[in-house]
Structure 1
Amino acid sequence: MSYPLARKFVASVIMTLIVGLVAAMDYPDPLPDFAHPHTPHYPWYQPVNAATSRPILIIRGGFTDVPWPAAKDDAWIGRRYFGGYPSVRDYFVQSSGGRVDFTRARESSGVHDDGIVTVDYGLTLAQWNELTDEQMMRHGVNVADPLVDYSAFDRNGDRRLGQDEVVIVILQAVPSDTGGYTGECGASRDVFPGPALDGMDLNGRTNIWANSAVNQITLDHEMVHAAFGLYRDFHGYPIHGFDVMGNTCSENEWYVELGSWHKTHLGWAKPTIVTRDGYYSVPAWDTGNTAFLLYDPDRGTDDYLLIENRWRRLGTYDADVQDNGLAVWRVDESQYYNNAPDAYPIKLQGPCPDYSCTYHAWDASDPNTPQREMTGP
């Protein structure tokens, strides 16, 4: 099915979408829930978990030959994770519309209960790098154990630490911590099997790993994996700087929001399902998570379009979105578990079908955007 779309620039952060459905269609009543919470893509990737607030425990340390940088003390880390804009906590409070929050974990290192544990990993950097990622996660929680009562996070009493009970972050020093580190900057990895700590089973839970030179947006990216259970990265998809789950590693600090596909599945946005022709005003995405969804009932709920109005604005988490205008996402959920290189469950449908240009949104005020003229209100 084709979806004729036209756009008109109305104001700096409001655009108008014209929808012309090519044929009359019978839409079900009630309309489908495209978050499909009863059949989530992954167990933790669903609205109940995404509305569950929890503490963050940060374990940071250096090595016998590479100490943790003195300038990046607990106060600095605290601001990055728990401060105002731009921090990890603020990113998700804003992105979720206040549905989820993160607090400082209880611990007895330095300033007690500020959520930050300082350790010496007791290895050289070379010895650390010989470990697998999963072994690094295990070593980090083991070394921090004398300063943390892991049982304090066991909210449901099952003696296993779930992703909805605590987020654990393992931070390491790197020798080139000058803002120019270009190696792997962050990851989310399972904890290697090992002994229970404070009676708690941590085997297989997902922790965050990052280095001391990591940029802020990568911390946000990894939180979506570890806290909210998104296993699959969107690195290889044509999303072009419109979603935090793309590639975020960089020497620079930059910010971009989660897109409507993620927020729909997390219960943080409920797109308006378009069932009739008309003009629809589309506010800026960062002002209220407003999106529109187009689908053909005859094709089912796996195949649809999502439309957002993305706008670069300083002081927001879309400050560095790749382009201004309407972002049109083509979604094919039937391809979600297909790992073939050209199988995209989600991709941006921009003015350049081959993605050869740098403008990817539909903006009637942009002369680079073809077919930008329209008549109407």
Structure 2
Amino acid sequence: MDVNGTVAEGFEPVRDVFARNFETLGDRGAAVAVYRDGRRVVDLWAGTRDVDGTEPWQRGTAQLVRSATKGVAAAVPLLLRQRGLLDLDAPVAEYWPEFKAHGKERLLVRHVLNHRAGVPVLDRPLTPEEALDPRKGPEAVAAQTPAWEPGTDHGYHALTYGWMLDELVRRVTGLGAGAWIAREIAGPLGAGFWLGLPETEEAAGRTGRVGRIETPEPTGALHARPKRSVTEAYEDPGSLTRRAFAAITPFPDQNDPAYRASALPATNGIATADGLARIYAALIGDVDGGVRLFTPATVEAARTEESAGPDRVLVVNTRFGLGYMLHGSASPLLGPGSFGHPGRGGSLGFADPDTGIAFGYVTNGFRKTVTADPRAQALVRAVRAAL
């Protein structure tokens, strides 16, 4: 496999592992980028832009990153808190009065970010058309009765996370999360990340920007296997696992331009590997000697454990900070202080403040993994070895 791009001295093992992912792990098209202390040290890409095509992947090729979107979206409420515009310990209903229905009046903003809100499912799933309407998802979550008392337990809010976050941002700023990210994060950084792909980028997609992904069955394995696996739980129609991932049914065609143009902060961000890594680099330090997003206090808040133990949706032990997955058995990152988010099927973005590393991996060859894709994990191990 011909691998394009560059690596800084000492990071050559990352190139070797990236090539091996194509040879032994079946990657079709992918890219990986790594920053250290705000400077890019790995920028690699290979394969085809479309999983079912022959056009080569280019340096600026972007892909849907599924739940890796959550990590970028989580930066928005944390930045609003940093600016004094959002109180994480206030009830959600203080900003969004309709949300207090059915016992949610004491559900805190913090509970949305640490997956303790208790509303990972909808009693009536949304249709694809409803899901793409920015009003329908928030309305449905506001009307939902919690599956457990908010704040008392945690479970991965696979889709509802995005609707709650988006509406909170809209109530505080007047903008949806996608527009806010474009204005305040991706734009100033010059980062290739979109939550709501603009028409200009969709048009570029026909000539090389956004690739087509494959869409496997929405089940998979986690890194740690409990007595009941997430796959087994998903096969139970009444389980929280199945219902959380089926809050939209049937799920939209993820290659559809209408889906890519919508803004679902839980699941449909589109990114280049460099864009994902660049944003994480700016969360923990200056990028190219310029833009920095998080203060040191906000970095500590992001990576401080808020939820840990058996996850009522993913059924294994998970760890969450404020909007971010933390390093652990279900989602191994670089080290104990890392924070970030994987995307179901392969993509991964994270930062490790202790080493100054920021990492982004995107692929068009989605697998059935939920949080610990072997291709991404091989690259993380290579970065660790290079350090």
TM-score (normalizing by structure 2): 0.28
Q: Which has the larger radius of gyration?
A: 1
Higher strand fraction: Structure 1 or Structure 2?
1
**Per chain length, whose mean CA-contact separation is higher, i.e. which structure has more relative contact order (CA < 8 Å, sep 6+)?**
2
